[in-house]
């Protein structure tokens, strides 16, 4: 009865006809003792989506444990209260709002603009669906106090999310603690005290001009203007049914690169993502159409953005067919590029998440730069002191920190185009660049084991087991150092992460995913040759699966 009462109360304030119909039908069935409907309601009303350092993200649908207009309205009102509370007396906080092509992204963005304006803030809505990096850029470019991006990035089609940025001293980066807790407290107060119909709304929000988009295009094209060797370069591109192409196309032209062959079936925004099982370039099969297009046009490489264009994937041809580079391979290539440009600059640093390749540290050392490891997420990487470049292995790269303090798959793509063109001018390829880098810093190889679960408690059980009985060996390699980052060394990153360094310098890191019901295991080795590194990685993969129970 408590669940039914909560559902009826939610229904009374829901402004969305679709979710109202969905919830009303569930309530009616539950009132008739339908066990499936009762269980569904219980799952939707067992709590609420937690607002954390990644904002909100979840499946679309009615109820507080789904993404919907009620939850977004409460989030916008709570965020408005947080910004008003921290604003200087007599000032009007400003917020930029962006959205991508997912279902309801535009609706959630306009709701947010109306509620932020209704709360007395200056709300600025971007002119149309655009990549996440454009929103991150706009926060800094417009000198805004905050930004909101409605996106679920590369999550499944029926998900959406609400990502929050702060300007001022935060320089347009995503929120970190304690801001997340303070915003969450304001959101909860709104949910407890006000119904959505009671929230003040106003249509006095602004629509940003095209000059904001044009400024992003100009800044990103300037990251790497095309060298002469780019002439005639053949490449393919997919937007993965996302919003990247319109903006990226203009940047490619402005920077002087030849136009790519595009994957026609995936080039226009489509929130249903009809040609992929999972709209993430990392997932098996997601880039198959891109590889087919590339092969048909004898392309030298493939570039792919994820649906909101904050990630970049790269594919290259091999004797066995097309291969997607790992995020670490791309990260080290772009890191070496940045290090060469920043060599000798006092205080300049490279940074990566603690689960990304330690090869970036070797690059930093080789070029006399500082090096930082952080917790996963660009909310941490972007805050590294003196950062000139940062990356994480999940296809995220920050190559232009003076304009965008977040991962940016479009500026990373421009930087990769420049690397490919320069290699072409020397008679080599992207694969050749990887070989050259390995000769300089060593043959680093990385792998990942991802264990998806239906019951998220299983992940906690594995972490508890490993903490209670830390492994002494992985296969035939002894654990030289075991670290639990819930109890980090002073000044080190802190989180639900277990890190094991083995006696041959290999590394195993275990952590729960921050966005999906997965346990993730990261493997890193360095070998004397590419073959040696592959053999070490294969052995470590088998050993790690046995330790965590992933077989």
Which residues have a catalytic role annotated?
A: 153
- Provide the β-strand partners of residue 443: 527
Assess contact for 320 and 343: CB atoms under 8 A: no
* Helix (H) or strand (E) run with residue 69 in it: helix 69-86
Give the Cα-Cα-Cα angle 440, 409, 149 (nearest 5 degrees): 145
Cis geometry, peptide bond prior to residue 178 (ω within 30 degrees of 0): yes
Contact between 145 and 122 (Cβ < 8 Å): no
Assign residue 474 a region (left: φ > 0; alpha: ψ between -120 and 50; beta: otherwise).
beta
Please state the φ and ψ torsions of residue 496, each to the nearest 5 degrees.
-80, 75
Would the CA dihedral through 244, 250, 254, 258 be positive or negative? positive
Alpha carbon distance 306, 186 (integer Å): 32
**Cβ count near 478 (within 10 Å):** 12
The end-to-end CA distance of the chain, in Å, is: 43
Residue 305's SS3 state is: strand
Coil/strand/helix, residue 183: helix
Q: How far is CA 164 from the centre of its chain?
A: 13
Q: What sign does the CA torsion over 394, 397, 401, 404 have?
A: negative
Find, among 314, 294, 305, 77, the residue nearest to 202 by Cα: 77
């Amino acid at each position: 009865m408590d669940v039914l009462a909560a559902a009826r109360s939610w229904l009374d304030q829901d402004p969305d006809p679709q979710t109202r119909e969905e919830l009303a039908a569930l309530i009616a069935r539950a009132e008739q003792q339908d066990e499936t409907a009762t269980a569904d309601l219980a799952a939707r009303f067992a709590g609420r989506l937690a607002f954390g350092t990644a904002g909100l993200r979840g499946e679309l649908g009615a109820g507080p444990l789904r993404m919907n207009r009620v939850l977004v309205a409460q989030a916008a009102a709570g965020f408005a209260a947080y910004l008003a509370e921290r604003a200087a007396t007599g000032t009007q906080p400003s917020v930029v709002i962006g959205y991508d092509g997912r279902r309801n992204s535009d609706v959630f963005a306009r709701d947010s603009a109306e509620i932020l304006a209704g709360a007395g803030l200056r709300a600025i809505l971007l002119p149309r669906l655009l990549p996440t990096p454009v929103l991150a850029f706009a926060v800094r470019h417009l000198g805004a106090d905050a930004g909101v991006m409605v996106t679920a990035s590369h999550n499944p089609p029926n998900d959406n999310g609400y990502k929050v940025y702060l300007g001022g001293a935060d320089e347009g980066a995503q929120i970190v603690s304690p801001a997340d807790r303070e915003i969450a407290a304001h959101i909860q107060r709104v949910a407890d005290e006000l119904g959505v119909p009671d929230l003040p709304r106003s249509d006095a929000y602004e629509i940003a001009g095209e000059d904001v988009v044009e400024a992003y295009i100009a800044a990103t094209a300037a990251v790497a203007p095309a060298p002469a060797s780019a002439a005639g370069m053949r490449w393919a591109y997919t937007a993965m049914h996302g919003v990247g192409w319109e903006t990226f196309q203009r940047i490619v032209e402005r920077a002087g690169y030849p136009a790519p062959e595009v994957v026609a079936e995936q080039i226009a925004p489509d929130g249903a993502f009809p040609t992929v099982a999972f709209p993430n370039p990392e997932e098996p099969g997601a880039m198959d159409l891109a590889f087919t297009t590339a092969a048909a046009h004898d392309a030298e490489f493939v570039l792919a953005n994820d649906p909101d264009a904050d990630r970049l994937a790269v594919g290259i041809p091999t004797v066995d067919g097309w291969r997607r580079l790992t995020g670490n391979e791309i990260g080290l290539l772009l890191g070496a590029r940045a290090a060469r440009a920043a060599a000798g600059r006092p205080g300049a640093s490279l940074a990566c998440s603690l689960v990304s390749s330690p090869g970036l540290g070797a690059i930093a050392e080789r070029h006399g730069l500082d090096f930082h490891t952080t917790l996963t997420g660009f909310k941490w990487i972007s805050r590294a002191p003196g950062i000139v470049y940062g990356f994480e292995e999940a296809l995220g790269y920050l190559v232009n920190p003076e304009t965008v303090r977040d991962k940016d798959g479009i500026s990373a793509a421009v930087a990769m185009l420049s690397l490919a063109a320069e290699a072409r001018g020397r008679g080599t390829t992207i694969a050749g660049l990887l070989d050259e880098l390995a000769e300089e810093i060593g043959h680093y190889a990385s792998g990942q084991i991802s264990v998806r679960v239906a019951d998220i408690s299983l992940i906690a059980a594995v972490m508890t087991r490993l903490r209670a009985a830390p492994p002494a060996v992985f296969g035939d390699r002894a654990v030289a150092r075991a670290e639990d980052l819930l109890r980090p060394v002073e000044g080190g990153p802190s989180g639900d992460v277990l890190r094991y360094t083995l006696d041959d310098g290999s590394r195993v890191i275990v952590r729960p995913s921050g966005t999906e019901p997965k346990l993730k295991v990261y493997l890193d080795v360095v070998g004397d040759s590419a073959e040696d590194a592959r053999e070490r990685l294969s052995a470590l993969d088998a050993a790690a699966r046995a330790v965590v129970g992933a077989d």
